Structure 1
Amino acid sequence: MRRIMVLNAKGGSGKTTLATNIAAYYAQDGKDVILADFDPQGSSLSWLEARGRGRPKIHGMAAASEGLKGMRKADIMVMDPPAAVHGKELTALLRRAETVLIPVLPSPIDMRAVAKFIQEVKASAPVSGKKVKLALVANRAREVTNIYWELEEFLGTLKVPFLTHLRDSMNYIRAAERGIGIHEMAPYATAVDREQWAPIIRWLNSKRSRP
């Protein structure tokens, strides 16, 4: 089973947005998908509840309360952990994954926080032992601003693959309300978003994203 995790210790970074869009992409691509929500807030499961019955099936798991007991076989498992995970809890989560995406917001506070977090992630046994691959995604980035270019330069210093910028778009809000992903919306309305997602999909589908 392919095991993908979206992870950031700081809340509000867009973990659930990335996790649900990844799950929706693979579901509409014909894959059997599990969406495991480790966050007690249950944001991913709430998104799944809004998903129409006519959409490709995604199997939700309330991993925050039940763990992964009784997990069924599937092609893809996408994991949405809580914020503020460190130490042994972080290591335990990383042992469940083979690929980890880390979203970063374009603000000085978020950039400083993620720099410290990435150091901790890279020092963990699963990552230092090369059993997990990492990549960064700039989330809610507005082009042609000073902080945009500062974020670009900052991400290049972290020695972790930087994949793409995702814009701050109402499309993500509309998709979340309906329990769908960007790739399930009208192509003409999401052309820019699909283009920005292309490097993420290419990386996830490549051998470079797997240990």
Structure 2
Amino acid sequence: MSTPERLIESTRELLWERGYVGTSPKAIQQRAGAGQGSMYHHFSGKPDLALAAVRRTAEEMRATAEAQLSGPGTAVERISAYLRRERDVLRGCPIGRLTQDPEVVASPSLRQPLEETFAWLRGRLAGILAEDRPRDGLAAGLDPDDTAATIVAVLQGGYVLARAAGSAEPFDRAVNGVLGLLTARTTAA
């Protein structure tokens, strides 16, 4: 792995573990096994490196989501596959956790990949719900955009509740609840 790649990967790990504020250039360099000169040769500073790391994390998150969401099945089956996929719930969402970091939220460039990722996910879910409505028998009154926003909110809230409890159980219950609501809406139609 090249030095820039090691720096990006180390930054991604540290951002997920510690957040932006808790990730120092020295910690990045130590984890990457790179010197200060190497870091500043490839990146103009911590914000530049963090942006590369956040973008990479966002791209991977979208690709992982797309793998489940583009699979076979009805809207509910594909959404269920996405929500129930294996994930490290107690670590939280690597993108969602960054929204709690005041320096990330205050920086338009660092916040942009977060906004884009959540907008993409809401849009992708809404598209699945809208396209599969006739096949799934989803209720005519079910708004795909509102439902997609609800699914994303439940997912992110599930991470928070699980971390607060130190257990994946609240996350699993939140996922089961939102899927139950989708199923109730499909069977009630």
Q: TM-score, normalised by structure 1?
A: 0.27
Instruction: State the structure with bigger RCO (CA 8 A, min sep 6), 1 or 2.
Output: 1
Q: TM-score, length-normalised on structure 2? A: 0.30
